[in-house]
Amino acid sequence: MGQAALVDRCADLDAPENNPCLLYLATLGSGSRPTMLSSLRRVSVRFFAGVPPGAVPWCELRHAHLHAIRSWLAEQYAPATANRILCALRGILKHAFRLGLMGDLDYRRAIDVPRVRGFRLPAGRALSAGELRALFVECNRHTLLGIRNAAALAILYGCGLRRDELVGLGLEGWQAELGAIRVHGKGNKERLVYPPPGARMALARWLESRGLEPGPLFLPTKNRGRELVFKRMSHSALLKSLNVIAHRAGVPPFTPHDVRRTFVGDMLDAGADLATVQALAGHANPTTTARYDRRGERTKAEAAELLFVPFEA
């Protein structure tokens, strides 16, 4: 079936309740949804003349189409990214099958496409102890904005939270009697995390300034950081705050997820077992937690220094 014919068959998918793509996207967390939607748009541009993903007749895909998409993904993306997009396509087709838009045999044949093989060095980096110290020093403890930034950074690192999880925290999630924070995480899963002493101190200082009015735990500011706004911080506001602190501290750029990677490596360095770190980080699979660990690269670099190369300038 050609592209034009596939595009023409999208009329039956207008209603969200009958749209396998929209149903699949609805199962994703708010942080994953924009990324996956962007990836599906790229697939659409390449194979469906740029039709919006929600209007692509994914239910018409068959094994040959999935195989062609897989080949293109293998050329354009790192293996992990390509396999994530293939997983999304399988998820969309599963919804199409459940909605009765695909037959059982067509569905099973379509998804029978192998994973893209290969490995890339993990993205991101871990922050050093010196970099973390410099970041906290740059959080001015005498201003409302500085107190908030210090607490946000302390919880982000001390609990290994995702960016979505941090901005989604509510005051009611802080359980002072347990010294724990209830986090609503990825996949609609809740977990308890336990801020270490330094993070609890930073949080207590912030709560003194914020007050105990119900609402989001971390709030945006106005009037150059001198006044609080009682609404949820945006992702961009958090990222901007971290970028400003990093610039002032002379720390190379980093992302909130780099802070999360640092948490995983530092916890393992401190002697915590992988299963415990996995539970604290909210990972469904210990393999994911292991990929966040950057200690192996440091060990390899240290081992390389032991080798003598007899070169003289």
Give, as one character, the DSSP assignment of residue 27.
T
- Work out the burial of residue 194: count CB atoms within 10 Å of its CB; fewer than 13 is exposed, 13-18 middle, 19 or more buried: middle
Phi and psi (nearest 5°) for 99?
Answer: -80, -5
- 228 DSSP β-pair partners: 221
pLDDT value of position 3: 38
Those residues of the chain that have pLDDT short of 70 are 1-16, 294-296
pLDDT value of position 16: 61
Sign of CA dihedral 222, 154, 258, 34: negative
3-state secondary structure of 271: coil
Question: How far is 60 from 64, CA to CA, in rounded Å?
Answer: 11
Q: Tell me which fold the domain 129-296 belongs to.
A: hpI Integrase; Chain A (1.10.443)
Sign of CA dihedral 140, 144, 148, 149: negative
- Where along the chain do its domains lie? 3-110, 129-296
Packed helices 144-159 and 235-249: angle between N→C axes, nearest 10 degrees: 100
Answer for the pair 194, 159: CB distance below 8 angstroms, yes or no.
yes
Question: How far is 129 from 136, CA to CA, in rounded Å?
Answer: 11
Question: How far is 178 from 216, CA to CA, in rounded Å?
Answer: 20
pLDDT value of position 10: 38
pTM for this model (two decimals)? 0.72
pLDDT value of position 14: 43
pLDDT value of position 211: 94
Written as six digits, the tokens of 169 are 């925290």
pLDDT value of position 33: 86
Question: How far is 23 from 91, CA to CA, in rounded Å?
Answer: 9
pLDDT value of position 304: 82
How many Cα atoms occupy the beta-carbon half-sphere of 240 within 13 Å? 8
Active site residues: 162, 186, 257, 260, 283, 292
- The radius of gyration computed from the CA coordinates of the chain, to the nearest angstrom, equals 23
Residue with the two structure tokens 């107190």: 147
Give, as one character, the DSSP assignment of residue 183.
E
3-state secondary structure of 233: coil
Written as six digits, the tokens of 107 are 């569905």
The closest alpha carbon to 128, from 297, 303, 304, 307, belongs to 297
The closest alpha carbon to 148, from 241, 212, 258, 234, belongs to 241
